[in-house]
Amino acid sequence: MPSVNAPAASPRPLTRSDYKTLSLSALGGALEFYDFIIFVFFATVVGKLFFPADMPEWLRQLQTFGLFAAGYLARPLGGIVMAHFGDLLGRKRMFTLSIFLMAVPTLIMGLLPTYAQIGIWAPLLLLVLRIVQGAAIGGEVPGAWVFVAEHVPLRHVGYACGTLTSGLTAGILIGSLVATAINSLFSTAEVHDYAWRIPFLLGGVFGLFSVYLRRWLHETPVFAEMQQRKQLAEEVPLGVVLREHRPAIVLSMLLTWVLSAAIVVVILMTPAVLQSVYGFDAATSLKANSLAIVFLTCGCILAGLIADRIGAGRTFIIGSTLLGVMSWTFYTSLKAHPDWLFPLYALTGLSVGIVGAVPFVMVNAFPAVVRFSGLSFSYNLAYAIFGGLTPMVVALLMKEDPLGPAYYVAALSLLGLLIGIHLLWRERRSVLRNAMAS
C-alpha cells in the first residue's frame, strides 16, 4: 500500500477483474447499508406496532429510536471482533460474514410478530436483531474499505475507496426511495397492516443474494502474500494497534468525526430542518434530499480520484473549504431564496463527497498486518461517539440559533482543513526526505 501522504505510482491499469471486485463490493455495501438504515424510515410505524398501544407517544418514540441507536452502540464491538479475525483469517471471510449477519436479521424483522401478538417479546426480539445488525455494519464498512484497497493497483486506492463509499451512500438513497414508494403505493392503514414489512423482506432477500455474489470475490493479494510469507500478526492485532499506532488512531478518529458530521447533519438531519426551520413540506424536502444524495454519491468517487492524483493533503484542503463554503451558503440563503433549494442542496451534497477521501487516508495509516483492526477500531469508536453526539449537539445549537447546523458543519470543515494542512506538511517532508536519501 502507498504512503498516506503521496500515492505511489503503479504501471498496472485497472482490469476487468478489478472493476468486478469494485462493483460487487459497492453493490453489497449499498444493500447492507440499506438494510441498516431502512429501520429509521419506518420508525413511527414500528413504534406503534412493537410497543403497547396505551404507551405515551413521547415514550414510544424514545424507545423506538433507542432501538435504532442500539445498532450504533453495537458497532465498535462488532467491528473489533470481525477485524480481529479479518487480520488473522482473511478479509474475504469477514467481508462475506458481515453481509450475512445483516441480511438475516433484516429478513426476520419483516416476519416478526407484533406486540399485539406476542407482547413484550416483540420489542426484545427487535432489540436483539438491531444489535446483530450493528455488529455487522461495524465490520462491513471498514472491512470493505480494506478489501477494495488491497485489491487494486496502488495508484487507484483513492478511486477504489471512493467508489465503495459511494455505494454506502447509495444505500441511504435506496432506502429513501423505497420508503417513498411504499407510502405512495399503499394507504396508511395498509402500511400499518402489512406493507411496512415489504422493505425489510426486500432487504433480506437482496442481502442474501449479495452473500451469493460475494462467493465470486477472491482474497486480497496483500493478505494472501502475508499469509504465504507467514507475516500475519503473532499477537492480538488490536494490542499492536493500541501500542504502536496511536497517531494513526487519532488521525483516523478525527477524520471519522468530519465524515460523521457531514453525513449526519447535511444528509440525515437536514430534511427535518428544512421542514421545521425553513417551512418546506415533507415531499419537497425528501426530493431535495434524494438529489443531494445522488450528488454525494458522485462526489465520493470524485474525491477518491482527486486524492489519487494530487494526494490527501491538497484534497482535504480543497474539499473541506468547499464543504464549509457550500454548507454555510446553503443554510444561510434558503430563508431569502427558497427557490434555490434544489441547486444549493445538490452542490452541498457534492461537497459532502469529500468523505470519499477519508478511507484513502485511513487504509494507508496502518500497516497491512493490522490494517483491518486499526481502521475498524478507530472508525467505529469515533462514529459511536461523534455520530451519536452530533444530533444532540446540533439540537442544542438550534435552540440558540436556527443556523446551528451551519455552525457545526463549518467547525468540522475547519477541522478537515487543518487535517489537510497537516497531511500536506507530511507529504512535503516525505518528498524532501526521499530526495536527500537519493
User: And the C-alpha cell for 142?
Assistant: 471498514
Angle at the Cα of 357 from the Cα atoms of 328 and 223, rounded to 5 degrees:
160
Residue with cell 500475519: 232
Cα dihedral sign, 5-220-79-131: positive
Task: Please give the average pLDDT of every successive group of 10 residues along the chain, which has 438 residues.
Answer: 44 79 84 82 81 74 69 79 76 79 91 90 89 84 86 90 92 87 88 92 88 75 69 73 92 94 89 86 85 95 95 95 96 92 96 95 91 90 83 84 93 96 89 72
Distance, in Å, from the CA atom of 54 to the CA atom of 116, rounded to the nearest integer, reads 12
CA triple 353-164-366, angle to 5 deg: 95
C-alpha cell at 243: 501500542
Q: What is the DSSP letter of 364?
A: H
For residue 157 the three cell numbers come to 486506492
What is the rounded end-to-end Cα distance, in angstroms, of the chain? Answer: 21
Residue 275 in contact with residue 281, Cβ under 8 Å? Answer: yes
Rounded distance between C-alpha atoms, residue 107 and residue 126, angstroms: 12
Q: Cα(196)–Cα(306) distance, rounded to whole angstroms? A: 41
Residue 21: partners with Cβ closer than 8 Å, 6 or more residues away = 148, 151, 152, 217, 218
Rounded (5°) CA angle 127-130-135: 130
> Where along the chain do its domains lie?
15-232, 238-431
Residues in Cβ contact with 422 at an 8 Å cutoff, skipping those fewer than 6 apart: 313
pLDDT value of residue 58: 67
CATH number of 15-232: 1.20.1250.20
For residue 231, what pLDDT is reported?
57
- pLDDT at position 136 is 84
The whole-number pLDDT of residue 423 equals 94
**Is there a common fold for 15-232 and 238-431?**
yes
Report how far residue 402's alpha carbon sits from residue 332's, in angstroms, rounded to the nearest whole number. 10
Query: Could you tell me how far CA 355 lies from the centroid of its own chain?
Result: 9
Please give the C-alpha separations between residue 50 and each of 38, 127, 381, in angstroms, as whole numbers.
Answer: 16, 11, 30
The predicted pLDDT at position 6 comes to: 41
Residue 266, Cα to own-chain centre: how many angstroms? Answer: 14
Q: Which phi and psi (to 5°) does residue 136 adopt?
A: -65, -45
Q: What is the rounded CA–CA span in Å between residue 123 and residue 70?
A: 12
- Orientation angle between helical segments 358-365 and 371-382, nearest 10 degrees: 130
Compute the residue count for the chain: 438
Tell me yes or no: is domain 238-431 CATH 3.40.50.10800: no
Instruction: Round to whole Å and give the CA distance between 122 and 113.
Output: 6
* Whole-structure pTM value: 0.84
| Chain CA centroid to CA 419, Å | 20
| Residue 112, SS3 per DSSP | coil
Place of cell 486480497: 220
Q: What single string gives the DSSP state of each residue in 280-334? A: --HHHHHHHHHHHHHHHHHHHHHHHHHHHHH-HHHHHHHHHHHHHHHHHHHHHHT
Give me 36's grid cell: 441498516
